Amino acid sequence: MNTERKHIGNADFLKVFGRALLLQASWSFERMQTLGFAFAVEPVLRKLYPDRNEYEERLKVHLEYFNTQPYCASFILGAVMRLEEDRATGVNAAADVSGLKAALMAPLGAMGDSFFWGALRPLTALIATAVLLAGVWWAPLLFLALYNIWHVGLRMGMLYWGYQSGGDAAMLLARYSLTRWAKRFKIMSLTVLGGMIGMLPSWRPEFRLHVPVPGVVTAMAGLVLTFALVFVLRRGGSPIKLMFGLALLCLALAYAGVV
Amino acid sequence: MHMVMAVLGVAVLGGLLGLDRTAAGQFMVSQPIVAGPLTGWLLGDASAGFVIGGVLELIWLLDVPVGSFVPANATVGAVSATGIAVLGMPGGATLPVIGFSLLLTAAIGPLTIGADSLVRTGNSKLIEKAAASTVGDRARAISRAHLSGLVVFFLKSFILCAVIVPAGVAAVLLLFDRLPGTVHRALALFVKLLPIVGAALVARKLSMKEFDRFVLMGFVIAAVFGLLIPVPSLIVLLLVVTAGWIGARYSEHRA
């Protein structure tokens, strides 16, 4: 056992962060992010294990099945960096790295999916789409800025907190209750959605319906139509089917002389 | 020649943006609201890209490739639809041609799902290669296998765009102009109503209850400040977002 203390420095964090951005480059149904995890953690293993055989052996260990929410993988990567460091330096030679990965990936995956895919992305995209429908050209830039402040900030933060806590997910939850934020963002998304429909008469000219009724009536018709479609969607139907259904309805209206 | 270069440019852009979808970064530049305007800007008609990107963003917003679920590829859809509309009508894409290209790309949605699934199945071989590497070469084998996945994901989107865009442009040139005026009017109405369909899809997937009070709150604020008291749209949106935040905190407090 090599007992010489080796520190993981800022450069290592940057290397792992950069590689974590490619976590899903070889994503497969069978092994999901397995190869990506080994690729991301490799520079740290190379530094911690100067002995070639030990290094290769540790790398092989990280070829076990892995899958979680790709941003939250940073927390597990940070924790693994810490445990591998403890293991390599003899602070905790029996550190169960595989057990930690297995224990964390499912709960972090569920939490990350709910927050990032189910709340942050819908909210930022809805705000940007409402801005775009209002005719503002920089709406896509607004979307990227709003989304990535959270995304990049949390992704970098989680790598660091994972290392600091050694995989204590309770620390992450105490610092940022992502579940609570997810609920807040979902409520805000619904409000923005309502606001977007309320602004229907002042949407970009391409989307304006030229009907001889006051704007409030058009907006209310939009709201009623949205609720009606939600009712229809509850009985099933995919976006593609809905698009073709709408096209057929428009065709019928056009042939009936309504438009 | 110009058309070939333009299609090639769109395919390269589609390939690069497609990487962001799952394989690299996930900074969301692959989302239709970004991919549509970028493609339109590249081809000299950003306006068509804004229209296509805006509606497709709403329609595909909550169909996320999570775990083994593979939805239709919204990035390829946005890039291809914009490419077809702009290249099919070089003078400036009209609403009917935008509607036509949106329907074409919606129809090939299952093809993009098939291509994505094929790549993700084939990627299993990459880890087999890495695992079978000899001692002393393992790190290099892992890097090589993993990064070759990027090439495969790029090629998937590149090929899809390179096939769909020229086929779509041909359909516009051969078929679209021959359609009667009634169909053109129907296609224009279709595009105008698509954001409502998108809003309903988002509402459904956000598990909106019937007559959700938060949707109604946002609607009332926008209607009062945007329509009855004309206030600039961005200020109205700011008020709506603020009201949403207050509503969320109030809801927490009550719980």
The residue of chain B nearest to residue A112, with distances taken between CA atoms, is B66
Cα torsion through B241, B244, B248, B250, rounded to 10: 120
Average pLDDT over residues B18-36: 96
Q: Per-residue pLDDT tens for B67-86? A: 788 999 999 999 999 999 99
The residue of chain A nearest to residue B124, with distances taken between CA atoms, is A28
Q: Per-residue pLDDT tens for A47-73? A: 999 888 889 889 999 999 999 999 999
Residues 6+ apart with CB under 8 A from A184: A119, B245, B248, B249, B252
Q: Tally A–B CB contacts below 8 A.
A: 365
**Whether the predicted pLDDT of B1 surpasses 80:** no
Residues 6+ apart with CB under 8 A from B129: B141, B145
Q: Can you give the pLDDT at residue B38?
A: 97
b vs e for A111-122, b when ≥16 Cβ sit within 10 Å of the residue's Cβ? bbbbbbbbbbbb
Opening angle at CA B203, ends B208 and A225, nearest 5: 105
**Whether the predicted pLDDT of A2 surpasses 80:** no
**Calpha distance A149→A107 (Å, rounded):** 24
Is-contact B23 B150, C-beta < 8 A? yes
| Contact yes or no for A190 and B24 at CB 8 A | no
Q: Can you give the pLDDT at residue A114?
A: 92
**Calpha distance A201→A212 (Å, rounded):** 12
Measured between CA atoms, how close is B116 to chain A, in angstroms? 10
Average pLDDT over residues B37-56: 96
Measured between CA atoms, how close is B35 to chain A, in angstroms? 9
Average pLDDT over residues A199-205: 92
Q: Which of B16, B55, B82, B190 to mutate to test the interface with A (most CBs of A within 10 A)?
A: B190
| Contact yes or no for A243 and B54 at CB 8 A | no
Arithmetic mean of pLDDT over chain A = 91
Q: Which of B17, B59, B237 to mutate to test the interface with A (most CBs of A within 10 A)?
A: B237
Which of A166-170, A209-213, B55-59 has the highest mean predicted lDDT (pLDDT)? B55-59
| Contact yes or no for A35 and B126 at CB 8 A | yes
| Contact yes or no for A117 and B66 at CB 8 A | yes
Q: Per-residue pLDDT tens for A93-105? A: 888 899 999 999 9
- Integer CA distances (angstroms), A155 to A13, A51, A71, A161, B108, in order: 12, 31, 6, 10, 34
**Whether the predicted pLDDT of A170 surpasses 70:** yes
ipTM of the shown complex: 0.94
The enclosing H or E element of B195 equals helix B181-205
| Contact yes or no for B216 and A125 at CB 8 A | no
Average pLDDT over residues A19-29: 96
CB count within 10 Å of CB B80 equals 32
Average pLDDT over residues A84-89: 92
Distance of CA B105 to the CA centre of its chain: 11
Residues of A in contact with B216 (CB under 8 A): 194
Nearest to B203 by CA among B79, B105, B58, B94: B58
**Calpha distance A104→A218 (Å, rounded):** 50
The residue of chain B nearest to residue A116, with distances taken between CA atoms, is B64
Q: Per-residue pLDDT tens for B170-215? A: 999 999 989 999 999 999 999 999 999 999 999 988 876 656 899 9
- Domain segments of chain A as ranges: 10-185, 209-259
**Calpha distance B223→B232 (Å, rounded):** 12
Of the partner residues B37, B136, B243, the one whose CB lies closest to the CB of residue A191: B243
Nearest to A206 by CA among B88, B37, B51, B183: B51
C-alpha neighbours within 13 Å on the C-beta side of residue A253: 16
Of the partner residues B22, B34, B191, the one whose CB lies closest to the CB of residue A24: B22
Is-contact A124 A143, C-beta < 8 A? yes
- Residue written as token pair 């919204």: B74
Average pLDDT over residues A235-249: 89
Is-contact B20 A140, C-beta < 8 A? no
Of the partner residues A122, A198, A254, the one whose CB lies closest to the CB of residue B226: A198
Residues 6+ apart with CB under 8 A from A118: A182, A186, B62
Residue A32 DSSP SS3: strand
| Contact yes or no for B214 and A187 at CB 8 A | yes
| Contact yes or no for B120 and A148 at CB 8 A | no
Of the partner residues B67, B216, B237, the one whose CB lies closest to the CB of residue A131: B237
| Contact yes or no for A26 and B148 at CB 8 A | yes
Q: What is the pTM of this model?
A: 0.94
Residues of B in contact with A225 (CB under 8 A): 193, 196, 200
